A and B are shown apart, each in its own frame.
Chain A
Amino acid sequence: MKEAVRIQQEDFSQDEEIRALQASSKRMGGIATFLGCARDFSEGREVSEISFDAYGSMALSELEKLRSDAIEKYGLLDARIVHRIGTVKGGDNIVFIAAGAEHRVAALEACRWMIDELKQRVPIWKKEITPQGEAWVTPHP
C-alpha cells in the first residue's frame, strides 16, 4: 500500500486513496475529501501550465506532522495527503486530502483544517505559466 502522505510528480487516484483510507478501519462512518485542481484562468489571464517548486524534505515532514496533528485534534481514524509537484495543466489534479472518522462532523472539519493548514505550513510554491509570461503565485486567503 502507498504511504499515507506523499509528494509526487505523477497523478494520483482518488479511488485508490479512499480505498486505502477505508481499509484502515471498519469503524469509519464518515470520509471527507478535498481535491485541489489546476485552474486554466487566474487573475484575468489564461494559464497554460502551473509549475511547482518545493523544499522537498521539509514539505514531506510538515505534511506528515499535519496528518498527525489532524488525527489527534479531530480524533480521526486515519487521514491521507498527496501533493503533486512538477508541472501540471489546467484541470489536472494538484492535491488530495482525505479524512476518515467515526462521524461526519470530525471528518469534514478535519479536511477543511488540513487544506487551510497546508497552505500556511508546507513549503511549496506555484508558478503560473501564461501566454504573456510566468509569475509566482501570491497566496489567496
Chain B
Amino acid sequence: MIKVLFFGPIAAATGERDVSVAHVPGLTLGSLKEMLAAQYPEAMHLATMMAVNGEHVRDLALPLVDNSEVAFMAKFSGG
C-alpha cells in the first residue's frame, strides 16, 4: 500500500488526513497524482509540492515502491 498524506488546505479540501492506495507495479508519483486528481480535483489542484518518505520530490516519473509515504502539499505558509 501507499500511504498518502494531506495537510492544511489540501486536508481541508479532501476532508481526509490520509488515504491508502494499493501499490501496483509501475506506479509512479505522476500516476498516483492523476488517480487522486480524479477523486479530489479541487484539492489536487492546490498540490504544488510533493514529498516521498519525507523528502522533497519534483520528478513525477519517480517510481513508487510499496509502503512509501507520499504527501501532496499546497504551497507552504509557515513563518
A-side residues, CB < 8 A to B, are 36, 52-55, 57-59, 61, 83, 94-95, 115, 118-127, 136-139
Contacts and interface: CB of A to CB of B under 8 A. Distances in A.
A94 B79 contact: yes
Contacts of A94: 79
Interface size for chain B: under 10, 10 to 19, 20 to 34, or 35 or more residues? Answer: 10 to 19
Contact of B9 (A36, A120, A125): A125
B29 interface: no
B77 A123 contact: no
Given A55-B71, A123-B51, A36 B79 contact: yes
B78 A124 contact: yes
A119 B76 CA distance: 6
Given A53-B7, A54-B7, A58-B71, A119 B78 contact: yes
A118 B76 CA distance: 9
Contact of A123 (B7, B9, B12): B7
B75 A55 contact: no
Contacts of B71: 55, 58, 123
B5 to A, nearest CB: 7
Which of A53, A57, A94, A139 is packed against the most chain B CB atoms within 10 Å? A53
B8 interface: yes
Interface string B50-79: 010011100000000000000101111111
B7 A125 contact: yes
B78 A122 contact: yes
18 contacts: A55-B7, A58-B55, A61-B54, A94-B79, A95-B78, A118-B79, A119-B79, A121-B76, A122-B76, A123-B7, A123-B73, A123-B78, A124-B77, A125-B74, A136-B12, A136-B77, A137-B77, A138-B77
Interface in B1-44: 5, 7-9, 11-12
A110 to B, nearest CB: 16
